[in-house]
Amino acid sequence: MTNAGDGSAPFSCIISNTMDFTPHTEAERKEMLADIGVSSFKELVKNLPIMEEDLKIPSGLSEGEMVRLGHELGSKNQAAPRLSSYLGAGAYEHFSPAAVSALMSRGEFLTSYTPYQPEVSQGTLQTLYEFQSMICDLTAMDVTNTGMYEGASALAEAVLLALRETGRKKVLIPRSLHPDYKTVLSTYTSESGTQLIEIPFKDGQLDLGFVAKNLTSEVAAVVIQNPNFFGIVEPAEAIAPLAQAASALYIASVNPISLGLLTPPGEYGADIAVGEGQSLGIAPGFGGPYLGLFACKTKWLRKMPGRLVGQTVDVDGRRAFVLTLQAREQHIRREKATSNVCTTTALIAAGSTFYMSLLGKQGLRDLAYQNLAKARYAFDQLTQIPGVRAAFKAPIFNEFVLQTTTPVETLQQRLLECGVVAGLPIKKWYPELENASLWCVTETKTKADIDFLVKTLRGVL
């Protein structure tokens, strides 16, 4: 809205037909770039994989020629499900019913924006409220927000909360925590003098003796990942009393599918449950967009980041939904806000809500069971092959680590030629584990698929 500006009557505002933007001047751009310490915008974004000029496409192609070129290039990609993939490590292949993507592609969900105006956003708000309710149910926690960007930053936010609230500097994290989560955590805490202390693993599980010894009153939080990066189920119940004794927060990073069978974090005394919601019906899609889960006890309600949808009544007493407790957020509290997160993957949260409603409680239980049973079958069959052994004996969910006499890179190549994508080599992060690879088996594999893998692996060793 612009006003008349000529000093005429106060209410003679003119609503202009076009919104006048005030773009940066070239001089302002130069000043900002100089302040950041780069010479050009291109240099600023040089870490992004592709810029327009790098696409080697001849100019002047017709649409038909372009489509044909696209097909040719695309056919060079091989993707699951054409290949039988046994990759996991934080991005999982699960079957998602067609209804999920059909609903997600509806305009009302696909292009709706942040529901700051509840009068026109009841659909979005109700969906997110249902999402929150389901995640609370799944994790046995009191409150959930509408999601963080993904699992790693959700964990980082939980750790920041613990650091803020306790004023302490140390955090215990498992060595068996997902390497990318460790990197993100390290980035988030890099400037604040925080000390991240690694808990070693024994037979793939948390070394409880180490935890007991090092969980002192200097520790803000102890973090576990359950199942951990190796696919192993942790003795999660043993941590709570140790955390309580030190008045440290207990943060659990969980796999939501596993909660169909495993004890939820709220029941083993965790303060905050975080995790990656991608496996709830969202395609692996090159690594994103994903869905950070963040749930906690009521105690931390006013300290938690992210958006919260609440249920209330309108002036006529009808049920309505709104964003609530917004005073925690940065658009109100600025530098005192609980976080600087400024958006959310609401569409992904909606998708996961559709998925969870289609599965239902029993469906999720059955799904978790299938994952567990099939992974166990694969594990048992594969470890019987000469030249293949289990890295750990501890109980697993749907992933496990194998060590082979043949170098993993050789195995990868040979298996790929047979249409199988082998488990992820993990030497880069765990040099102490020789020729180790991480394998994932979800409900998408049939017994025949697994038998084919076993037969093929035997053949290429």
Partner 1 sequence: MSTSRRYAKSHEWIRVEGTLGTVGISDHAQKEVTDVVYVEVAKTGKVVKAGDEATTLESVKAAFSIYAPVSGTITKSNLALDGDPGLINKSPYDEGWIFALEISDPAELDKLMSEEQYQKFLTSGEAAAHH
Residue ranges in contact with partner 1 by CB under 8 A: 302, 327-328, 332-333, 336
Closest approach, Cβ 333 to partner 1, in A, equals 5
Question: How would you classify the pairing of strands 195-199 and 424-425?
Answer: unpaired
Burial class (CB in 10 A: 0-12, 13-18, 19+), 354: buried
Compare residues 26 and 119 and give the one whose CB is closer to partner 1. Answer: 119
Closest approach, Cβ 270 to partner 1, in A, equals 24
Closest approach, Cβ 221 to partner 1, in A, equals 20
Compare residues 130 and 329 and give the one whose CB is closer to partner 1. Answer: 329
Closest approach, Cβ 115 to partner 1, in A, equals 17
Helix/strand/coil for 397: coil
Closest approach, Cβ 302 to partner 1, in A, equals 7
Round to whole Å and give the CA distance between 62 and 450: 45
HSE-CB at 215 with a 13 A cutoff on CA atoms is 26
Compare residues 32 and 332 and give the one whose CB is closer to partner 1. Answer: 332
Query: Element (H or E) spanning 101, and its range?
Result: helix 98-104
Tokens coding 315: 């002036």
Residue-by-residue DSSP string for 359-394: HHHHHHHHHHHHHHHHHHHHHHHHTTSTTEEES--S
Contact 368, 439 (CB under 8 A): no
Compare residues 99 and 327 and give the one whose CB is closer to partner 1. Answer: 327
Compare residues 46 and 333 and give the one whose CB is closer to partner 1. Answer: 333
Rg (CA), the chain: 25
Closest approach, Cβ 337 to partner 1, in A, equals 9
Round to whole Å and give the CA distance between 386 and 10: 88
Closest approach, Cβ 129 to partner 1, in A, equals 20
Query: Element (H or E) spanning 250, and its range?
Result: strand 249-254
Round to whole Å and give the CA distance between 296 and 266: 8
Compare residues 161 and 240 and give the one whose CB is closer to partner 1. Answer: 161
Compare residues 14 and 327 and give the one whose CB is closer to partner 1. Answer: 327
CA-to-CA dists, residue 287 to 88, 89, 284, 371, 426, angstroms: 11, 11, 6, 21, 18
Compare residues 106 and 302 and give the one whose CB is closer to partner 1. Answer: 302
Q: Exposed e or buried b for every residue in 156-179, given b needs 16+ CB within 10 A?
A: bbbbbbbbeebebebbbbbbbbbb
Closest approach, Cβ 327 to partner 1, in A, equals 4
